[in-house]
Amino acid sequence: MTNHSMATDTPEAKLADGFTAGSLHGALPLFVWAAHLFVAYASAEVACALQLHRFKVLGLSAPDLWLWFISAAAIAMLVVLTVQAVRHRRAAAESGTTQATIQIGAAILALVGVLWSSVPIALVYGAAICRSTY
């Protein structure tokens, strides 16, 4: 019996229990949201400090293109995570656990958060942002 209890105390056994992996998977959309927010604001600040808004590509400033790119990447990643959570919820419907439902909620919350923080990117262009901060 002591061998069995020692085997369940290993990190591998704790990750294999399903709860830890499910919790990490459920929190992943929130990490994507946080990363998007951090990278968007940090890169906007750096772009303004370096006057990168003066460089135009396809009629848009370089920072605008970058912010559109990271927003689109975050939205695409969150859509994929939401679809995966919905599929996991269907597969776990028989087990009666709420973990899959929480994963769907976290994915939708993060998706709405990224969309909400992307609104200023759509409405305010790099030069206007830089004029308001510098």
31-85 per-position pLDDT tens digit: 999 999 999 888 888 887 888 777 777 777 778 888 889 999 999 999 999 888 8
Mean pLDDT of the chain: 78
Domain boundaries, the chain: 24-133
Q: What is the pTM of this model?
A: 0.74
Tokens 């056994």 locate to: 13
DSSP character at residue 57: E
Which residues make beta-bridge pairs with 84?
Answer: none
Neighbours of 83 (CB within 10 A): 12
C-alpha to C-alpha distance for 7 and 19, rounded to whole angstroms? 17
pLDDT, position 132: 56
